[in-house]
Structure 1
């Protein structure tokens, strides 16, 4: 449309799109499927003072994008010609389906979780403590009947994650060194990266395998 209406097109053009995958594909010189689009954009850039393609995460009430979305949905309802799916298209479909399945299976996933910034060894410690699937006596005895009881060696309570991190008198001094101020369980297991590192360091210093 811009090519057909050069006379009425302004010298500076901005095209908004929420199709990030398309914008990334256009920048890939090895992707031959979008040669026509890439060529059209190059020609447009040469005939204007400035041409910019701006990615937006959503339509943001921009009328042109709202209309494009409406037309795309309308086109999706029409009968589609049978065409073979390319390898790249098939790979994209599979990856997207796997991603949706994984997110559905992990409703608590938070991409901003500091857990993902930790070294691998610390991640293992934190995830075991979060889930309770660990080698503390309470879990081993109640789930797998391993050991003689679920009691902590201190003899005051079952050896749960809560007891070990918060109350076990055997590690009271180490706990005070690691957390000088009173710290709730949630901060120890779901807090910022420094809090998670302290928790992992506490476990290693205690000598108890989790």
Structure 2
């Protein structure tokens, strides 16, 4: 059928859009084809009533583009929040530039390119030890104790800053952590 295969067919595009919206809905929807004019009892009556209903005045409430956009954004936001229950909108992490966010989340989760993670998870390298030789190269060792980066650590955090502040603290603490990583030259 050429009409169904025509990408400019407005009715088909509208139907496809409606089906996509139904598919993304949380409600279960069943679409079933009911053939008309096939001697199915009540079908003729249903067709007549549908035609009558189609002739009745329809309630129309126009929605502006801005209103539709707001509705869609709110629905997407609710879906996202439902899928991410640990999200804390007050976390300064969400205000950082994207490249700093990547650094912070890798350090928070420990899924990074530090030797300890690479060796214990993927058996990459010959050991999990830090090049300083004092302990495994974990996130905590690297940010808090590694003697190789002692001077840089003192320049970055003048006071003895707890690990929690470096990874979950206010904006300035998170920025300092990302800057420390960049200045160290160690890829995370």
Q: Same fold (TM over 0.5)?
A: yes
Relative to structure 2, which stretch is displaced further, 24-33 or 121-130? 24-33
Residue of structure 1 in register with 2:172 after alignment: 194
Q: Tell me if structure 1 keeps the 8 A contact 2:115–2:129.
A: yes
Distance (Å, rounded) in 1 between the aligned partners of 2:47 and 2:90: 30
Shift of residue 116, structure 1, vs aligned partner: 1.5
Separation in structure 1 between the aligned mates of residue 112 and residue 45 of structure 2, nearest angstrom: 53
> Does the 8 A contact of 2:36 with 2:44 survive in 1?
no
- Give unmatched runs, 5+ long, in structure 1: 1-22
Quote the RMSD (CA, aligned, Å): 15.9
- What is the total number of aligned residue pairs between the two structures? 188
Higher strand share: 1
Identify if the C-alpha distance between structure 1 residues 196 and 42 changes in structure 2 by more than 3 Å, giving closer, same or farther: closer
Are positions 1:26 and 2:4 aligned together? Answer: yes
- The alignment's TM-score, normalised by the length of structure 1, stands at 0.54
Distance verdict in 2 for CA 1:24–1:163, change over 3 Å: farther
Asked if 2 retains the 8 angstrom alpha-carbon contact of 1:26 and 1:38, the reply is no
Alignment of 1:92-131 (within 5 A): 98-131=76-109
TM-score w.r.t. length of structure 2: 0.60
Q: Distance in 2 between matches of 1:142 and 1:46?
A: 40
Q: Structure 2: how far apart are the matches of 1:166 and 1:100?
A: 38
Q: 1:52 to 1:166 in 2, by over 3 A?
A: same
